[in-house]
Amino acid sequence: MQRIARTFATALAVLFASSAQNAAAQDAGPHPLADEVIRLVGEVNPKVVEWRRDIHANPELGNREFRTSAKVAEHLRGLGMAVRTEIGHTGVVGVLEGGLPGPTVALRADMDALPVTEMVDLPFASKVRTEYNGQEVGVMHACGHDNHVAILMGAAEVLASVRDRIPGRVVFIFQPAEEGPPEGERGGAELMVEEGALTDPRPDAIFGLHVWPDLVGTLQYRDRGAMAAADGLYIRVVGRQTHGAVPWGGVDPIVVASQIVMGLQTITARQTDVTKAPAIVTVGSIHGGVRGNIIPDSVVMVGTIRTFDADMQADIHDRIRRTAEHIAASAGATAEVRIGVGAPVTYNDPDLTRWAIPTLTRAAGVGGAVEGVPITGAEDFSVYQHEIPGLFFFLGGVPEGQDPAAAPKNHSPYFFVDEGALPVGVRALSDLALDYLFQNKRSVSEDR
């Protein structure tokens, strides 16, 4: 409870200190509504906190965000927006029409929770349990998407309050299933795009954020490859079953699978130029056999591939297939390799990233916005970036006085975000939208 009590003080301190220290940070100058946005962010913050706690206590898994999407749609309609629902199953898109002609910018938040049982001692901790892929599981916003939704709802209210002076449009995208849909279903950003999230109107740029275990209120950005492409790896090694006491009577797929695991590690350790970009090949699951004295017929391995460069991604895929197949063949076995291409690299447009640094600096305060390192996690925000220029950045949520290095990470049952981060996120998204619209309005025809 002490962590909660100090969030409002932290929020206001970060919000107003960043304004005083960085009023002249942007080369082109902040948009003309900057002071009003600061006031509006402070006014809406109690609502943002309330929304965050409500969504946190009532988490929903991917493609099942019925309550959350209804809450979002009601809020956007109440702000006078044109709202489309059921995009990509439970997605919501709201369009705020400004009072002046100008470009279009999009802001995105993801809504889904994870099949994790919450262990954080909070009065609004999740007690929800549901079925996931045939298993009963706890449900928790262990990746912080509750914060993303509340922050974007707050930014929507801030921007709607000044709509008559906005040159252009703002598209608010609330996306389901970022963590992946249930087995047998489609979902996430790819389906949102297919079903029109970026059409009518089509944004000129898109911004999004993610809470992260860094000091509360800090912001991290990185141009080009910010988060990895995530590809699924499946290898089935087929040998020939025999008695465990007579291994020469068959072909042992367990030994072959072990050799393949070691061979795969040489791809990134000895065959890939990691000075160009990081790369990871991980086997996270091996299954085969039923008892100790039977050498089984086959072994299945499941893993993940993480890359930051498209050419390296294709090359590593080829090397994985060649390595597994040739090692298996050398022992008289066979290896079936399947690679499921997942979210592409989260690629931050270099020009857009450089342009945004002053805006992020104003929102976070002096020293609060810094260049980050590549993150080997993946995000399907990258799908939008394949369509239009985009920037995805990170918002710190570790309470003051705690060591971020020791704080529970995203997807942990102990993951916690200090609410002092919320107004920084609201201001960052609001200012990015307004700075972009005001600074690009001259390039857009006055005829709308």
Q: Do the bridges between strand 224-227 and strand 167-175 make them parallel or antiparallel, or are there none, so unpaired?
A: unpaired
Distance of alpha carbon 442 from alpha carbon 437, whole angstroms? 9
* CA 246 remoteness from chain centre: 50
Peptide bond just before 253 cis, omega within 30 deg: no
Distance of alpha carbon 390 from alpha carbon 107, whole angstroms? 10
Catalytic position from the list 112, 231, 309, 419: 112
Task: For the chain, count helices (H), then strands (E).
Answer: 11, 18
Residue 113 has phi, psi (to 5 degrees) of -105, -175
Q: Angle of helix 422-440 relative to helix 34-57, nearest 10 degrees?
A: 130
Is 351 an annotated catalytic residue? no
Put residue 350 in one of left, alpha, beta given phi > 0 → left and psi -120 to 50 → alpha.
alpha
Question: Which H/E stretch holds residue 22?
Answer: none
Is 112 an annotated catalytic residue? yes
Catalytic position from the list 118, 157, 178, 349: 178
Question: Which H/E stretch holds residue 168?
Answer: strand 167-175
C-alpha angle 295/299/305, rounded to 5°? Answer: 150
Taking a C-beta distance cutoff of 8 angstroms, is the pair 225, 309 a contact? yes
442's tokens: 């001259």
Provide the annotated active-site residues.
Answer: 112, 178
